[in-house]
A = this chain, B = another copy of it.
Amino acid sequence: MAVYTDVTEPDLSAFLERYDLGRLLSYKGIAEGVENSNFLLRSDKGTFILTLYERRVARGDLPFFIGLMEHLAGRGLSCPLPVPARDGTALGELAGRPAALFTFLEGMWTRHPLAADCRQVGAAMARMHLAAADFPIRRENALSVGAWRPLYEACGGRADEVAAGLGEEIQTELGKLEAAWPSGLPAGVIHADLFPDNVFFLSGELSGLIDFYFACNDLLAYDLAIALCAWCFEPDQSFNVTKGRALLGGYESVRPLEREEVEVFPLLARGAAMRFLLTRLYDWLTIPDTSFVTKKDPLEYLRKSRFLRTIESVGDYGVDVRVGR
């Protein structure tokens, strides 16, 4: 849950004077998004999401994020659409923070994904990758392979506080990932955080994607590897092959993977598990317990990482990927 900044009605009313939204009827802080403060706002003209960008989001990245959502919505992808002010700009300032309004996306995220959901998520991700192909702004992935060792080192040798031997295990795996990490694969804009709470469904149909604030340029298949980690394990961290097959099959129904992407996919999945293991480990060790942030368990991703290290080819997931069509 996230409402880091409160907003007064006079400040909000002044902000809204730039828009054609009619009379403000209500606004309520909502438990959505981790990095920013979000409000559900109602006016004569409908329901909107108001986002205030907090310090963890770099101001220089906002044109990428907001432009990407405009670009994707313009190509028919269902995602929040930035609402422009009368002067055409989508980004303003409120309570001393950059702020923007978005259309409200109906739907609910699923706490217990089904294989059919995974198939839809794969297809939606592929459509997003294709729709973003001609998006003109670039944003490097600040959390790709090159960032993982510095992130580990920022933990100050304290990994073993979380699990005995964890430090050595991470360093060994990091060495392998760094040595074998591919280049030259199909790349473009990826979501990079397409977890269940960022995908909405309505009556069993995927109704939209939200929270593009980790989006960046990276390998397309790496985005799919992140989703595999996020969607295809059960609560006990056992891998569900039916969900894995559905996710990859859904993706390939829109954008078939190339042979090289399939070959290197097990490594990308290990990398994805390492990325979330490391950010969770860092947060676990550095965020004070008195904080309002709910810290996520790094061990969940340690267990996923260990499973993924046993996989040598995509076939070992039980997934039958049709390559080279």
The residues of A with any CB-CB pair to B shorter than 8 Å are 1, 3, 6, 8-10, 23-32, 40, 42, 47, 104-108, 110-112, 200-203, 289-290, 292
Contact = CB atoms under 8 A, between A and B. Distances in A.
B108 A9 contact: yes
A289 B290 contact: yes
B111 A23 contact: no
B25 A107 contact: yes
Contacts of A31: 1, 3, 28-31
Contacts of A111: 6, 8-9
Contacts of A200: 26
Nearest to A291: B290
A30 B27 contact: no
Contacts of A10: 112
Contacts of A107: 25-26
Nearest to A12: B108
Q: Name the residue in A9, A10, A112 with the highest tally of chain B Cβ atoms < 10 Å from its Cβ.
A: A9
B106 A8 contact: no
**9 smallest beta-carbon distances between A and B, as pairs:** A29-B31, A25-B106, A8-B111, A28-B30, A289-B290, A9-B108, A3-B31, A26-B106, A30-B30
A111 B5 CA distance: 13
Given A290-B289, A292-B292, A108 B30 contact: no
A33 to B, nearest CB: 11
B26 A30 contact: no
Nearest to A28: B30
A277 to B, nearest CB: 24
Nearest to A289: B290
A205 to B, nearest CB: 12
A106 B47 CA distance: 12
A104 B45 CA distance: 17
A95 to B, nearest CB: 11
A40 B25 contact: no
A124 to B, nearest CB: 18
Contacts of A290: 289-290
A28 B110 CA distance: 13
Nearest to A6: B111
A202 B110 CA distance: 35
A105 B25 CA distance: 9
Contact of A202 (B6, B25, B105): B25
A200 B6 CA distance: 16
Contact of A29 (B30, B42, B201, B292): B30
A76 B190 CA distance: 53
Nearest to A10: B112
A102 to B, nearest CB: 14
A290 B294 CA distance: 11
Contacts of A104: 26
Contacts of A108: 9, 24, 26-27
